Structure 1
Amino acid sequence: MENTTFLSANLTDMSLLKTAGIVNMACFIILVLSHCVFFYFVVVILCAFFTTAYIKEKARYVLFIHMILNDSLYLIVVFALYVAYMYYVYIPASLCYTMLTISTSTFRVTPYNLSVMSLERYVAVCFPLRHTQMCTPRSTTIALACIWAIALIFNLADIVVLGSKVGKNFFSLSVVCSRGSMTATQAQGIITLCSSTISFTAVGLIIIYTYIQVVLVARKISSDKSSAFKAGKTIMLHAFQLILCMMSFSSFFTETYLKIYQVFLSIINYLVFMCLPRLISPLIYGLRDETLRKYMMTFRSAVPSVEEAGK
C-alpha cells in the first residue's frame, strides 16, 4: 500500500514537472515575442521623439519617453537576472547587487513617473493658462531628478545595512543571483516593504486625487469637454498600470501558499506582474496619442516590405 502511494506521488510529481516544463516553455516564447514587439514600438516612438521638434518641447512626451526608457532598462536587467537564476548561473556578488539595485530602482521609478504624468494632466486641465509656465523643460528635468533621488534613497539605505553586516570579501564571491542571496539581515526586508508600501500608497493617492479633480472640471466646463475627459481616461490608465505593478506583490503569497505549483508559478508571476505593466506602456500611450499614432503609421509605410526589399 505504501509502495503504491509512493509510486502515485512520484507519477504526480513527474506529471507536474512535465506540465510545468511545457508551461514554462510557452511562457518563455510569449515573453521573448512580447519583448520584441515592445522594443519595436520603443524604437518607433524614440524616432518620433528625436525627429519631431514639437514633441521634444512637450512635458508629457518627455515624461513618457523617460518612462519607456526606464521600463526598457528594467526589462533588460530583470530578464537577464531571471535567466541567470533559472539556469543557476553563478555571477560575482558585486555584479549581482548592481543589477538588483538597477532593477529595484527602475521598478520604483515607473509608479513615480506615472504620478508625475498624472499631475501634468491635472495641471493641463485644471490650470490650462499656467500649464506652459509650470510644465517647462526645466521643471520636467527637476521632476525626473527628484524621481531618481527618491528611488535611490531606499537602495542607499539597503547597501549601508548590507555593508555593515557582511565582510569585505562578500562582494568578491560568486552567487546564484537573487534577492535572497543579497539579503543578510531582516532590516533589508523591512526597508523593501516600507519603500514599496510608501511608494505605491503615495502614488495611488496622487492618481486618485488628480482623477477626481479632472472629472470635476470636465463636468463643469461646457467647451473643450473632450480634452478633459480624455485626460481623465489617461489618468485611469495610469491607475490601471499602477494596480498591475502592485499585483507583483501577490507573487510572494502565491509562491508561499501554492508551493506545489512553484515550478511554473515563478515565470507566470514574472510575465504577468513584472513585465506586463511595462510591456503595455507603448501600446497604451503610443497608439492613443494622435501625434505618435500618425508617426507610427508613417514609419510603417516608410519601411519597405520583404518583397520590395528583395527587388
Structure 2
Amino acid sequence: MTNISDLQKNTTQVDGLSNHEIMRLILLSITLTSFIVFSYFLAVMLSVCFTNTVARQEVRYILFTHMLVIDSVYLLFSLFLFLASYYPTKYPAPFCYIFVVVSSTSLKITSYNLAIMSLERYITICFPLRHREICTLQRMGIAIAIIWALELLPNVADFFVLTLTAEKTFFARIVICSRSSFIVASVQDTIRLASHASTFYLVGLIIILTYIKIMLVAFRVDSRKSSASKAGRTIVLHAIQLLLCMMAYSYSIVEIIFKNYINLLPVINFSFFMCLPRFLSPFIYGIRDELFRKQIKKFTVCDFKKHSLK
C-alpha cells in the first residue's frame, strides 16, 4: 500500500510539473505572438510619426514618438534578458551589463515621458495663448535630455559601487544576463529602490496636480465636450499607464502570492508586468487620436488591398 501511495504521489507531482510547463509554454507563446502583432502596429505608428508633417512638428506627437521608441527599446532588451534567464546561457559581463542598464533606464524614462506629456496638456488648456511660446521643439528637446540625465544618474552610481566593490576581474567573467548577476553590495538595492520610489512619486504628483488644474478649467467652462474635459481624460490615461508601468516593480509581491507556481513566475512577470503595459499604450493613444486613427486605417486598408491583389 505504501508503494502504491508513493507511486500515486510521484505521478501527481510529475503531472503537476507537466501542467506548469504547459501553462508556461502557453503564456510564452501568447506573449511572443503579441510581441509580433505589437511590432507591426508599432511600425505603422512610427511610419506615421516620421512621415506626417503635423506629427513631426507638434510637441505632443514628438513626445509620443519618443515614448514609442523607448518602449520598443525596453521590450527588445527585456525580451533578450528574459530569454537569457529563461534558457540560462552565459555571456560576457560587459555585454550583459549594457543590456541591464538600457532595460532599467528605458523603463523609468517612459514614466517621466508621461509626466512631460501631462504638463504639455496642462499648458495647452491652462495657457492656450502661450502654448506655442512655452512648448517649443528646443525646450522639448531639453526636457527629454533632462529625463535621460535623471535616469542615468542612478545607473552611474550603481556602476561606481559595482566597480569599487567587485573584484577587478569581474567584467572579464562570463555571467547569466540578469540583474542579480551584478548585485555585489546591498547599497545597490537601496539605490534601485530609491530610484523607483522617486520616479513613481514625482511622476504621480505631476499627473495628479495637472489633472486637478485641468478639471478646474473644465468645470469653469461647464461643457463635457470641451477640450479641457478631453485633456482631463487623457491625463487619467497617463495615470493608468503609469500604474501599469509601475507594475514591473511589484515582482516581489507576485513572488509571495504565487509562491506555489515558482516555475511560472518568470513568464508571468515578463508577460503581464513588462510587456502588457507597453502593448496597451500605443493601441490606446492610436485609437483615441484622430490623426493616428486615420493614418492607421489608411495603412491597414492599403496593406489588405495589396495582399488581396496578390
TM-score, normalised relative to structure 2: 0.95
Q: Distance in 1 between matches of 2:2 and 2:110?
A: 53
1:69-88 alignment, distance < 5 Å: 69-88=69-88
Q: Distance in 2 between matches of 1:6 and 1:150?
A: 58
Partner of residue 189, structure 2: 189
Query: Is contact 1:60–1:120 with CA below 8 Å preserved after alignment?
Result: yes
Residue type of the alignment partner of 1:18:
S
Residue 268 of structure 1 pairs with residue 262 of structure 2: no
Residue type of the alignment partner of 2:125:
V
* Identical residues among aligned pairs (%): 43
Residue type of the alignment partner of 1:308:
L
Partner of residue 176, structure 1: 176
Q: Secondary structure at the match of 1:175?
A: strand
Q: For structure 2, list consecutive stretches of 5 or more residues without a partner in the other structure.
A: none
Q: Using a 3 Å threshold, how does the CA distance of structure 1 residues 10 and 226 change in structure 2: closer, same or farther?
A: farther
Residue 150 of structure 1 pairs with residue 150 of structure 2: yes
Q: Distance in 2 between matches of 1:112 and 1:4?
A: 60
Q: Using a 3 Å threshold, how does the CA distance of structure 1 residues 124 and 19 change in structure 2: closer, same or farther?
A: same
Partner of residue 64, structure 2: 64
1:1-311 alignment, distance < 5 Å: 7=7, 9-222=9-222, 225-256=225-256, 258-303=258-303, 304-309=305-310
Q: Distance in 1 between matches of 2:165 and 2:249?
A: 26
Residue type of the alignment partner of 2:307:
V
Q: Secondary structure at the match of 2:175?
A: strand
Q: Secondary structure at the match of 2:193?
A: helix
Q: Distance in 2 between matches of 1:202 and 1:6?
A: 56
Q: Secondary structure at the match of 2:91?
A: strand
Q: How many angstroms does 1:16 deviate by?
A: 2.6
Q: Distance in 1 between matches of 2:235 and 2:244?
A: 14
Residue type of the alignment partner of 2:79:
F
Deviation readout 1:151-189 (Å, 9 max, x if unpaired): 100000000001001122111111111111110000000
Q: Distance in 2 between matches of 1:189 and 1:18?
A: 35
Q: Secondary structure at the match of 1:168?
A: coil
Q: How many angstroms does 1:256 deviate by?
A: 3.9
Q: How many angstroms does 1:266 deviate by?
A: 1.9
Q: Distance in 2 between matches of 1:71 and 1:5?
A: 52
Q: Distance in 2 between matches of 1:9 and 1:109?
A: 49
Q: Distance in 1 between matches of 2:5 and 2:165?
A: 47
Residue type of the alignment partner of 1:236:
V
Query: Is contact 2:122–2:210 with CA below 8 Å preserved after alignment?
Result: yes
Residue type of the alignment partner of 1:290:
E
Q: How many angstroms does 1:3 deviate by?
A: 6.0
Q: Using a 3 Å threshold, how does the CA distance of structure 1 residues 260 and 12 change in structure 2: closer, same or farther?
A: farther
Query: Is contact 2:86–2:266 with CA below 8 Å preserved after alignment?
Result: no
Q: Distance in 1 between matches of 2:86 and 2:280?
A: 25
Q: Distance in 2 between matches of 1:53 and 1:60?
A: 13
Q: Distance in 2 between matches of 1:251 and 1:13?
A: 26
Q: Secondary structure at the match of 1:280?
A: helix
Query: Is contact 1:255–1:266 with CA below 8 Å preserved after alignment?
Result: no
Q: Distance in 2 between matches of 1:8 and 1:232?
A: 59
TM-score, normalised relative to structure 1: 0.94
Residue type of the alignment partner of 2:25:
M
Residue type of the alignment partner of 2:232:
G
Q: Distance in 1 between matches of 2:146 and 2:114?
A: 14
Q: Secondary structure at the match of 1:75?
A: helix
Query: Is contact 1:218–1:225 with CA below 8 Å preserved after alignment?
Result: no
Q: Distance in 2 between matches of 1:89 and 1:40?
A: 29
Bigger shift: 169-178 or 61-70? 169-178
Q: How many angstroms does 1:50 deviate by?
A: 1.6
Residue type of the alignment partner of 1:246:
M
Q: For structure 1, list consecutive stretches of 5 or more residues without a partner in the other structure.
A: none
Q: How many angstroms does 1:9 deviate by?
A: 4.9
- RMSD, aligned α-carbons: 1.7
Query: Is contact 1:125–1:214 with CA below 8 Å preserved after alignment?
Result: yes
Bigger shift: 222-231 or 234-243? 222-231
Query: Is contact 1:59–1:135 with CA below 8 Å preserved after alignment?
Result: yes
Q: Using a 3 Å threshold, how does the CA distance of structure 1 residues 170 and 5 change in structure 2: closer, same or farther?
A: farther
